[in-house]
Chains A and B, each alone.
Chain A
Amino acid sequence: MRVLTLLTMLFAAANVFASLGGTYTTVQDDGAHMKGAVRVRQMVAYDLHEITAPTGVRVREFVSPQGRVFGVAWDGPVLPDMQQVLGEYYADYIRAAQEPTRAHGQPLVVRTPNVVIYSGGHMRSMHGSAYVPQLMPANVKAEEVR
């Protein structure tokens, strides 16, 4: 994945929830919501928007040539706002999180035809990723969303 350009921008857009599955402009909304700096890198098959919040929580949003956010990844000392990051797929995350058989502290993995979500890590180091298989550009592998 060759980095073609690199530019740093600060967005001050309205505070709107959006993200995974959303369209390009919602990335700017997310930057505003996180009070974070948004850095855009144009990769060969997609744009990578990295938002770093003052808390050190980083969210990377993978944007297809069609302008859709097909993947997100995050890391930092605490979770990002999962509702904001996962957007319409947040319900899938919560459904899996509240399964009564889940083990405390276990990584959470959601696998449905619509979305794959992973949330793991340990105290002071959380990380995870999610992607929408139907929105993935043909030449991008799921492992790249990290």
Chain B
Amino acid sequence: MSPMRTLLVLCLLLALAGCGGSSNSAANNSSGSSGGSGGSGGSTPPSAVNVQPITVNAGLFNKYANGAFASVTICVPGSTNCQTIDNVLVDTGSYGLRLISSLVTLPLTNEKDANGNSLANCIQYVDKSYNWGPVAIADVKLAGETASSVPLELIGGGGLPAAPSQCSGTDGKPESTAQDLGANGILGIGPYQQDCGLACTLSGSSNPGVYFTCTASTCNVASVPLAQQVQNPVFSFSTDNNGVILQLPAVNPPGATSVPGSMIFGIGTQSNNSLGSATAYMLDNSGDITVTYNGQPYSKSYVDSGSNAYFFLDSNSTGMPMCKSANSFYCPASAKDFNVTVSGTNGASNPVTFTIANAESLFQTPNAALPQLGGDSPNTFDFGLPFFYGRSVAYGYENHTTPAGNGPFVAF
């Protein structure tokens, strides 16, 4: 999600969003202040106990395209000793809160195994980059909601040996700093409760190796009960815990420098979080939907606010050339429309239309919100943040009931 270009906007313009670092102000659970830096995208989002403001802007280093950020308050469990960290990426493609360790000034307790050894978390991404750090316990506050004693990852945190080879390989790239990540952390609010789930409770070769117990010098794969795994904090709210809705206004092409939006907790639990006329698409066992294009179904497709473009198919199947400089992105000579069909395992099926423009041209504007940014991803459709503009996208959580049925699902 760090961007493929540099925006011309000065960091100063983003001062309200805390450009350049985290704020360490003691925070309460008020939802009254807007986290946004204002801007051109729409009206001020509603303020309510279950509504956390989010902002799409160029991020901490003034170069992020299509990143949605929020402030997250963490507290020593059961206390008023709290800290608010801003510029945390809002990511529906992951589960659990991960914060850059060096920004956390609270005295949090790390999880230990039965032998008193530290518990560490390794999240590996598609390019073998990885987050490595201890699992700590904190209360997490978003809007007026509190998740008590939630396990989270302190990325790059101390007190651990270097990442073991099962985590890093010999040449995986660590993402340990805000610079590496392009954000102060990742708030994973997708439809699952844990970052690993049942597989990490198993022992032996069935365990995929997301958790490790570490002595002073070595780390070994650990079996970890579900409750001790890094948790999506929304599941731990006492109310409004059956899902989340992201709302962003429509953004006119070519884009906007900053867009305010809302992260609304719960589905059908308050007057402000009904699904309305949205269709729920039940997810398959991998958390995916099917997108059909030109009669061909692509079953490993997904809707992910943490992806910064529409990533889909390739140059051959779309008829669009890749850019010369930013070669992960499409550079059509003129904007091109795509008509696809989205379907879930419940048989729900609807058309979706979107447009892809020339990425190099888009990157020459000062805009951070780019609704027509697209890139390649063979044999799949990854509907990233541009898909969210002008929509309410809801995620029904696993093992929870909503008016649209049981999660996991995505609805829009």
Chain A residues with a Cβ under 8 A of chain B? 35, 53-57, 75-79, 82-83, 93-94, 96-98, 101-109, 111, 116, 118-129, 143, 146
Contacts and interface: CB of A to CB of B under 8 A. Distances in A.
A146 to B, nearest CB: 5
B4 A97 contact: no
A105 B304 CA distance: 10
B220 interface: no
Max chain A C-beta neighbours (<10 A), residue from B123, B171, B204, B206: B171
A88 to B, nearest CB: 15
Nearest to B207: A55
A125 B209 CA distance: 14
Interface string B296-340: 000010101011110100100100001000101000000000000
A103 B328 contact: yes
Given A107-B377, A109-B328, A125 B127 contact: no
Given A107-B376, A122-B94, 17 more contacts: A35-B205, A78-B210, A82-B128, A97-B127, A97-B129, A102-B328, A104-B181, A108-B126, A108-B127, A116-B378, A119-B126, A122-B190, A122-B304, A123-B188, A124-B195, A125-B300, A126-B126
Interface residues of B, number: 61
A125 B300 CA distance: 9
A104 B208 contact: no
B82 to A, nearest CB: 27
Contact of A107 (B124, B126, B170, B209): B126
Interface in B4-55: 4
A123 B195 contact: yes
B128 A107 contact: no
11 contacts: A54-B205, A94-B128, A98-B171, A101-B2, A103-B308, A105-B1, A106-B309, A107-B380, A111-B322, A122-B287, A122-B304
Interface of B: 1-4, 91, 93-95, 123-129, 169-173, 175, 180-182, 188, 190, 192, 195-197, 199, 204-210, 286-288, 300, 302, 304, 306-309, 311, 314, 317, 322, 326, 328, 375-380, 382
Secondary structure of the B side of the interface?
A: loop
B307 A105 contact: yes
A106 B311 contact: yes
Nearest to B183: A104
A116 B379 CA distance: 13
Contact of B328 (A98, A106, A127, A143): A106
Nearest to A108: B127
B95 A54 contact: no
| Closest CB pairs A-B (n = 4) | A97-B127, A122-B93, A125-B286, A107-B377
Contacts of B93: 105, 122-123
Nearest to A73: B379
B94 A120 contact: no
Given A118-B377, A124-B196, A104 B2 contact: yes
Contacts of A106: 1, 126-127, 307-309, 311, 328, 375
Contacts of B328: 102-103, 106, 109
A78 B209 contact: yes
B170 to A, nearest CB: 8
Given A55-B199, A83-B169, A78 B377 contact: no
A44 B74 CA distance: 58
Contacts of B2: 101-104
A96 B308 CA distance: 18
Contact of A97 (B173, B204, B311): B173
B128 A79 contact: yes
A82 B169 contact: yes
B169 A101 contact: no
A120 B4 contact: no
Contacts of A83: 169-170
A40 B302 CA distance: 30
Contact of A78 (B124, B204, B307, B311): B124
A54 B382 CA distance: 27
B379 A104 contact: no
B205 A129 contact: no
Contact of A124 (B286, B300, B375): B286
Max chain B C-beta neighbours (<10 A), residue from A75, A76, A107: A107
B190 to A, nearest CB: 7
A118 B209 contact: no
A35 B287 CA distance: 26
Max chain B C-beta neighbours (<10 A), residue from A57, A77, A106, A126: A106
A37 to B, nearest CB: 12
A22 to B, nearest CB: 19
A59 B115 CA distance: 36
Contacts of A127: 300, 380
A108 B288 CA distance: 18
Contacts of B4: 101, 103
Contact of A96 (B127, B199, B206, B309): B127
A98 B311 CA distance: 19
Given A109-B377, A118-B379, A129-B378, A77 B126 contact: no
